[in-house]
Amino acid sequence: MRVLGIETSCDETAAAVVDGERRLLSNLVVSQLDEHRPFGGVVPEVAARAHLEYLDSLIARAMDDAGLGYGELDGVAATAGPGLIGGLFVGLMTGKAIAAARDLPLMAVNHLEAHALTARLTDDLPFPYLLLLVSGGHCQLVAVGGVGRYTVYGGTVDDAVGEAFDKTAKLLGLGYPGGPALERAAVDGDPARFPLPRPMLGREGCRMSFSGLKTAVRHTVERLDTLDERTVGDLAAAFQAAVADVLADRCANALDAFARDHGVPGPLVVAGGVAANAALRARLEDLAGARGTRLVAPPLGLCSDNAAMIGWAGVERLRLGCTDGLDARARPRWPLTEMSPADVEKGA
Ligand code: ATP
Ligand code: MG
Ligand code: FE
């Protein structure tokens, strides 16, 4: 089974072909960083135009790399949401056009489901597992019981953690995108020099909050006379340590809930761009080890937005007969809890 995946929900234009044996036949991503950098963040209209410009030739190259003609595909999967509406239209319309022209099944993929299932592409991982999804736009703890079966244990009440990394990096003058720059700055920093709060730490449940942490960094910066390199490093380290403490604490509660619901201690899976953070990975590995389970962390290129995960979600759905009509809608807002009941039934 071979599926073409198309991803255009944010600022990555991506196309990939994956097969049912978990092989990546091709996997291409064009990041629009240069287009958005002058604005210090993603501009929806700029993103939509860039997707339109890049996507056709990228799909042609993905097919070429895979050494396949369209007639050798078994299906087409395109992200239908959640995300920026302009980009979603471009990708979903393109997917529909290929599906219609070649009479192939279409899978209108939920981007969050694709993140949630990525670990099954990279690892031989049975259901159920606990997912920590940490990206630029999302921050959730989810029990993944099967395709279409998601129980959200908690999420952020304000900023996503990647967003907090980006905003804090901006405050520290570290540029865009902020997460990787902040991690580099933190390497030699002293996390103890500036005490920062740990929002929600020790509270029941799995809710998280990161905007207060970013504000605490801002207040600290405002009180300083100068922001020299050492101070930036110390603040970056303090911020990163606070985030890791909070996420590890929230994951511990989620693992408790998961063990109650499923009778097993894990495994814990991390996905999303922030999963690239080594300090966070180390903390989560320690936590999983202490609980007698393991951390599954897909390679970095498959944690941040890509089309292989969309193609893989397509494979998982196609196997279960969960395909979509050419009238499938693009959905800017589409939480995992709103996967359609029919799909959940078919996924059972
Ligand atoms: P979403 O997947 O939620 O729709 P997105 O495209 O912004 O949105 P990703 O591409 O998965 O999400 O992740 C990007 C985010 O990850 C950015 O906020 C970025 O700062 C953050 N990030 C990337 N690398 C690191 C790192 N090493 N440490 C911390 N954060 C990081
Ligand atoms: Mg992105
Ligand atoms: Fe994403």
Question: What is the per-residue pLDDT for 343?
Answer: 55
Q: For residues 75 and 100, what is the distance between their CA atoms, to the nearest angstrom?
A: 11
Ligand nearest to the CA of 115: 3
Residue 139 pairs with which residues in a beta bridge? 134
- pTM of the entire predicted model: 0.94
DSSP state of 197: -
Query: What is the residue with the minimal CA distance to atom 16 of ligand 1?
Result: 273
φ, ψ of residue 318 to 5 degrees: the values are -60, -40
In the numeric block, which tokens belong to residue 299?
């390679």
Question: What is the per-residue pLDDT for 341?
Answer: 53
SS3 state of residue 304: coil
Tell me the best of 12, 51, 111, 135 to mutate to test the pocket of ligand 1, counting ligand atoms within 8 Å of each CB and taking the most.
Answer: 135
Tens digit of each residue's pLDDT (9 = 90 or more) over 75-92 = 999 999 999 999 999 999
Residue 324 pairs with which residues in a beta bridge? 106
Sort strands 75-81 and 139-146 into parallel, antiparallel or unpaired.
Answer: unpaired
Calculate the CA 5 to chain-centre distance. Answer: 16
Beta carbons within 8 Å of 149's beta carbon, 6+ residues apart: 127, 344, 347, 348
Measured in Å, residue 325 CA sits from the centre of ligand 1 at 31
Give the ligand 1 atom nearest the CA of 177: 20
Top CATH class of 128-300 equals: alpha beta
Measured in Å, residue 165 CA sits from the centre of ligand 2 at 13
Domain 2-116+303-343 has CATH 3.30.420.40: yes
| Domains of the chain by residue range | 2-116+303-343, 128-300
Question: What is the per-residue pLDDT for 348?
Answer: 46
- Do domains 2-116+303-343 and 128-300 share one topology? The answer is yes
When computed from its CA atoms, the radius of gyration of the chain, rounded to whole angstroms, is 20
Give the ligand 1 atom nearest the CA of 138: 3
Question: Rounded to 5, what percent of the chain is helix, strand, coil?
Answer: 50, 20, 30
* Three-class secondary structure assignment of 90-156: HHHHHHHHHHHHHCCCEEEEEHHHHHHHHHHHHCCCCCCEEEEEECCCCEEEEEEEECCEEEEEEEE
Question: What is the per-residue pLDDT for 40?
Answer: 77
Averaged in consecutive runs of 10 residues, what is the pLDDT profile of the chain (348 residues)? 97 97 98 84 89 97 98 98 97 98 98 96 97 95 95 96 95 90 96 96 96 96 94 98 98 98 97 94 98 95 95 97 96 89 51
Measured in Å, residue 149 CA sits from the centre of ligand 3 at 19
Query: What is the residue with the minimal CA distance to atom 20 of ligand 1?
Result: 179
